[in-house]
Amino acid sequence: MNRRRLLLMVLVLATSVSTAYADNFVNNMIGQPYLQPMDPSSHRSVTATVQKIRSGTVFLRTEEGTIRAVGLKALQRDGMPSIRPGDQVDLIVDRGNSILAIAPPRGTGAYIGNEVSGTVQRFDILNKQIALKTKDGDVHSIELREVVATKLNGVGKGSAVSLEMDGHDRAFDAYKVD
């Protein structure tokens, strides 16, 4: 009797889960990436101060009081070739508290948060490049961070996407356009 109830519960759960994720499954089967609509609360900007640098790791104290560790090479890739204790940076942090982008603080020329929307003309995952045609007819070639290139894997020509840009005109996040 218990085996029958357990089997029935598994079947009910499997049916509800497959119904809930059917759209995502179908999109992945036809090669479309799963992109969520843009949500302004999906990430936030946090200012941090460099506390110390040890063995290629930079320790940052955020304005919230937490300590974050970032690789020195990641900071250099984000356009900060030299960094010392006391320097400030802006971190873009997602809901899961992962760092999406790092830039010098606002007012120093590297603004994070510009958005580019359009339809895909070309997508090159190997070179992490995408070309978008905007509403005004201009085609922009945009460099993608590794995570965004992976997130866009499977996007086809003509797909409408919106990219959020870091201070160095690289996309650090991607969304579907409704």
Which residue range is the domain that position 63 belongs to? 41-103
Q: Is the entire prediction scored with pTM above 0.75?
A: no
* Same domain, yes or no: 125 and 154: yes
Q: Could you tell me the CATH number of the domain that includes residue 78?
A: 2.40.50.140
**Cα-based distances in Å from 47 to 11, 32, 51, 109, 168:** 49, 36, 13, 15, 18
User: 77, 103, 129 — which closes off a domain?
Assistant: 103
Does position 19 have pLDDT exceeding 60, yes or no? no
Tens digit of pLDDT for each residue in 78-87?
Answer: 667 678 899 8
Does position 25 have pLDDT exceeding 70, yes or no? no
Does position 109 have pLDDT exceeding 80, yes or no? no
Tens digit of pLDDT for each residue in 92-102?
Answer: 777 777 777 77
Tokens representing 159 are 């797909």
What percent of the chain shows pLDDT beyond 90?
A: 21
Does position 1 have pLDDT exceeding 70, yes or no? no
Continuous H helices in the chain: 2-20, 22-29, 72-77, 146-151
Tens digit of pLDDT for each residue in 57-68?
Answer: 999 999 989 899
pLDDT bin (cut points 50, 70, 90) of residue 49 is very high
Instruction: Judge whether 11 lies within some domain.
Output: no
Q: What is the pLDDT of residue 123?
A: 93
Q: What is the pLDDT of residue 32?
A: 53
Q: Total domain count for the chain?
A: 2
Q: What is the pLDDT of residue 35?
A: 65
Instruction: Judge whether 2 lies within some domain.
Output: no
Average pLDDT over residues 9-15: 71
Q: Phi/psi class of residue 158: alpha, beta or left (left: φ > 0; alpha: ψ in -120 to 50)?
A: left
Parallel/antiparallel/unpaired status of strands 129-133 and 114-124 = antiparallel
* Same domain, yes or no: 77 and 125: no
Tokens representing 163 are 């990219």
